[in-house]
Amino acid sequence: GKIPCNKEGLKTLWSNIFDMVTLNDPRGIARYQDANGPTNIVVVANNDDDHSLLKFELKEDSVYTYPERLKTGMMPLWAVDVDGNGDVFVTTQGDSTIPAQVLIFGNPTIESGWQSGTHESANGPLFAITLPEPGTARGIAVNSEATVIYVSNYMTKKIYCYVGDLQNGYTLYDGFNFQM
């Protein structure tokens, strides 16, 4: 059904039957797409206790909970993007002493945790990319083929470019240099 609010009306809930997660400091949203192209589903990087990736469906009359979510672990999330196959790329927050990371989770055909009762990833992220410097990764963009990833570092005012693929992993591309 439609997304309910708690009794105070201040918190939005993601809910599916008896499974509920309160939206808590959600910092990123991306339009979900799959092999057939863009959909009317969005993915939200939520900072509940499990730091979940939550899906919502946009319909003509409202926003509805979509029955897929995935717990990412213990690190606060910030930005999120989706490649052309529905794989989800999300950044962890990082800080002045700890570099942020990019966590890459497979689409529901690869990662059963999206639809399982526990919503836990069977093997964790497909890849975890640690940024080369401490700071908060507040933005991410991935191309449709998942061969190029751009990640911003708010503290250093840099954008990093990673190249690779989901079969072999990613490396920092030295041919790209952007700093504000």
What are 118-152's pLDDT values in tens digits?
A: 898 888 899 999 999 999 999 999 999 999 999 99
Burial 141-177 (b: 16+ CB within 10 A, else e): ebeeebebbbbbbeebebbbbbebebeeebeeeeeee
- Could you tell me which of 69, 70, 127 has the C-alpha nearest to residue 101? 127
42 or 18, higher pLDDT: 42
Work out the angle at residue 79's Cα, subtended by the Cα atoms of residues 76 and 170, and round it to the nearest 5 degrees: 100
- Taking only the tens place, the pLDDT of each residue in 16-30 is 888 888 889 999 999
Tokens (6 digits) for 106: 């497979």
> What percent of the chain clears pLDDT 90, i.e. is strictly above it?
71
How many whole angstroms separate alpha carbon 38 and alpha carbon 40?
7
Half-sphere exposure of residue 163: CA atoms within 13 angstroms, side-chain side: 4
105, amino acid identity: F
Average pLDDT, the chain: 91
